[in-house]
């Protein structure tokens, strides 16, 4: 009789444990699903922006700013048209085109390489917030799809800036809305499926505990093992698209072996804990990918903007001490034209490696197709020059060892230190570094 009462009490505790575990699974699944969707959207938008930025950097700004209605069919016009056509064919994007701002909220098409229905020069384009931002000098992506006579699209816009820092045009890249939604849907469904399976397993746990049958517990253990494999497979399929080096395996050190009913319950709890950890690691990885440049693996524009906000906050709190160092690759367009875009990508990667070795991964950002920036805090000028010297030596080494198949690697550089007496924001420091960089670039072009 006493044993029966103990069994009843034990069953109640087991049932309570099962209910708590089920609720925990549901809450965690919802949180993970929301976080994953936000992170995936960030990655998709980042990839779109990388493509438009790269296209904008390919265009000769001095030629683009001379294009008007009378220039249609000229050599400069055809050169830019060819560049856009080649880029579109190589990247399998829906549409790419050049746009010019004619008033505060009016933009017109200037060059459209679409072979079927090109927009004529002067035709007005649907204005979005992203396009307005690009007109003011900041690359941006549409938050919502836009519908026009060519279809439904999400668009990324990047400014083309001349040597004086003026926006002379905008490159727009359209991505079909069906592709965009399908891309997000596939990722989201994977997380929903994993969450649903986890909840289902939780229900099975309660059912198994209440019946207290070894047969059901063994089946449940097999289900958990299958779920572990499913998580491995889903993570491998999704993560491999961004970074094949990431490992999210759910380890089962006991290989599914069970010795008793109580041990089996402990084993199930441990497996679920491992799966929760694996899913959290996956979410963290997705977040890190959202702030990484796909080609160079250094910080991207999103990471830079977040760092800039932190710097501006320190400036307001009177606790800022930093240098801004700006690098721009010389003659990247000429390298692409002469040696091909594969060598051009190698040039970009080698510059990123040189800067990363000198300033560290956490301080290095790719802010444009051929522009890199480092923000280094709490160092003196001697140490800054040592790091700049490392970049120069790394570039010399690349050229000496002919790692770029005949292409010569060269950069222009500018730097500036925050001065609390004259600087009210990060932008003030950046402008000085940018001016010095462009002066060095002008000197380079005078002698080359």
Q: What is the pLDDT of residue 258?
A: 42
What Å distances lie between residue 378 and 321, 355, 359, 382, CA to CA?
Answer: 5, 18, 13, 12
Please list, in sequence order, all residues whose beta carbon lies within 8 angstroms of the beta carbon of residue 345, skipping any fewer than 6 positions away.
295
Q: Which residues pair with 417 in a beta bridge?
A: 323
Q: With 70 as the cut, is the pLDDT of residue 133 above it?
A: yes
pTM here is: 0.51
Q: With 70 as the cut, is the pLDDT of residue 14 above it?
A: no
Q: With 80 as the cut, is the pLDDT of residue 330 above it?
A: yes
Whole-angstrom distance, CA of residue 134 vs CA of residue 158: 6
Q: What is the pLDDT of residue 380?
A: 95
Q: With 80 as the cut, is the pLDDT of residue 163 above it?
A: yes
Beta strands at 151-161 and 146-148: parallel, antiparallel or unpaired: antiparallel
Tokens of 284: 């963290």
Tokens of 139: 């690359």
| Eight-state DSSP code of residue 368 | S
Whole-angstrom distance, CA of residue 170 vs CA of residue 99: 5
What Å distances lie between residue 199 and 12, 24, 35, 89, 159, CA to CA?
Answer: 20, 9, 18, 45, 48
Query: How confident is the model over 196-224, as a mean pLDDT?
Result: 61
Tokens of 385: 């020059």
Whole-angstrom distance, CA of residue 104 vs CA of residue 135: 9
pLDDT-based confidence at residue 313 (cuts at 50, 70, 90): very high
Least confident of 231-235, 330-334, 433-437: 231-235
Whole-angstrom distance, CA of residue 160 vs CA of residue 16: 63
Q: With 80 as the cut, is the pLDDT of residue 310 above it?
A: yes
Query: How confident is the model over 202-208, as a mean pLDDT?
Result: 64
pLDDT-based confidence at residue 242 (cuts at 50, 70, 90): very low
Whole-angstrom distance, CA of residue 297 vs CA of residue 9: 56
Helix (H, G, I), strand (E, B) or coil at 176: strand
Helix (H, G, I), strand (E, B) or coil at 287: helix
| Eight-state DSSP code of residue 414 | E
Q: Where are the domains of the chain?
A: 2-42+187-287, 59-180, 301-446
Of the ranges 81-95, 134-148, 225-239, 300-314, which is most confident?
300-314
Q: Which CATH homologous superfamily contains domain 301-446?
A: Reverse transcriptase/Diguanylate cyclase domain (3.30.70.270)
Pairwise pLDDT comparison (116 vs 308), residue with the higher score = 308
Q: Say what the alpha-carbon torsion angle 396, 399, 401, 402 is, to the nearest 10 degrees.
A: 170
CATH class of 59-180: alpha beta
The number of beta carbons lying within 10 Å of the beta carbon of residue 248 is 18
Structural contact between residues 93 and 175, judged by C-beta atoms closer than 8 angstroms: yes
Whole-angstrom distance, CA of residue 47 vs CA of residue 174: 13
Q: With 90 as the cut, is the pLDDT of residue 204 above it?
A: no
Q: With 60 as the cut, is the pLDDT of residue 262 above it?
A: no
Q: With 70 as the cut, is the pLDDT of residue 356 above it?
A: yes
Query: How confident is the model over 214-232, as a mean pLDDT?
Result: 59
Q: What is the pLDDT of residue 241?
A: 46
pLDDT-based confidence at residue 169 (cuts at 50, 70, 90): very high
Q: What is the pLDDT of residue 1?
A: 44
């Amino acid at each position: 009789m006493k044993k029966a009462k103990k069994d009843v009490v034990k069953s109640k505790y087991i049932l309570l444990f099962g209910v708590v575990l089920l609720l925990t699974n549901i809450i965690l699944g919802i949180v993970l699903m929301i976080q994953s969707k936000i992170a995936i959207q960030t990655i998709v938008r980042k990839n779109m922006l990388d493509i438009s930025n790269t296209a904008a950097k390919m265009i000769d700004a001095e030629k683009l700013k001379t294009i008007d209605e009378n220039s249609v069919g000229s050599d400069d016009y055809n050169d830019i048209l060819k560049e856009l056509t080649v880029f579109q064919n190589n990247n399998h994007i829906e549409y790419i085109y050049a746009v010019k701002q004619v008033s505060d909220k009016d933009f017109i098409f200037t060059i459209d390489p679409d072979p079927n229905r090109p927009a004529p020069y002067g035709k007005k384009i649907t204005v979005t917030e992203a396009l307005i931002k690009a007109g003011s000098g900041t690359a941006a992506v549409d938050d919502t799809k836009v519908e026009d006579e060519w279809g439904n699209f999400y668009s990324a816009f990047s400014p083309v800036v001349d040597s004086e820092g003026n926006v002379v045009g905008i490159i727009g890249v359209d991505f079909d809305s069906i592709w965009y939604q399908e891309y997000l849907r596939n990722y989201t469904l994977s997380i929903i499926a994993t969450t649903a399976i986890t909840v289902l397993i939780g229900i099975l746990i309660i059912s198994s505990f209440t019946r207290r049958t070894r047969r059901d517990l063994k089946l449940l253990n097999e289900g958990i093992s299958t779920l572990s494999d499913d998580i491995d497979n889903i993570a491998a399929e999704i993560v491999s698209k961004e970074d094949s080096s990431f490992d999210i395996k759910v380890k089962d050190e006991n290989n599914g072996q069970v010795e008793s009913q109580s041990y089996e319950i402990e084993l199930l709890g441990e497996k679920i804990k491992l799966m929760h950890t694996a899913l959290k690691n996956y979410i963290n990885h997705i977040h890190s990918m959202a702030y990484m440049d796909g080609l160079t693996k250094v910080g991207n524009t999103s990471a830079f903007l977040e760092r800039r906000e932190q710097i501006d906050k320190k400036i307001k709190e009177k606790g800022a001490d930093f240098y801004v160092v700006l690098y721009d690759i010389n003659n990247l367009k000429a390298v692409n034209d002469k040696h091909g875009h594969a060598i051009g990508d190698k040039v970009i990667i080698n510059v990123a490696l040189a800067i990363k070795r000198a300033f560290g991964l956490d301080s290095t950002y790719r802010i444009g197709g051929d522009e890199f920036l480092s923000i280094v805090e709490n160092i003196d000028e001697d140490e800054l020059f040592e790091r700049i010297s490392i970049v120069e030596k790394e570039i010399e080494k690349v050229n000496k060892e002919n790692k770029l198949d005949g292409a010569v690697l060269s950069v222009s550089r500018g730097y500036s230190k925050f001065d609390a007496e004259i600087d009210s924001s990060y932008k003030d420091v950046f402008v000085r570094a940018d001016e010095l960089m462009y002066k060095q670039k002008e000197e380079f072009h005078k002698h080359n």
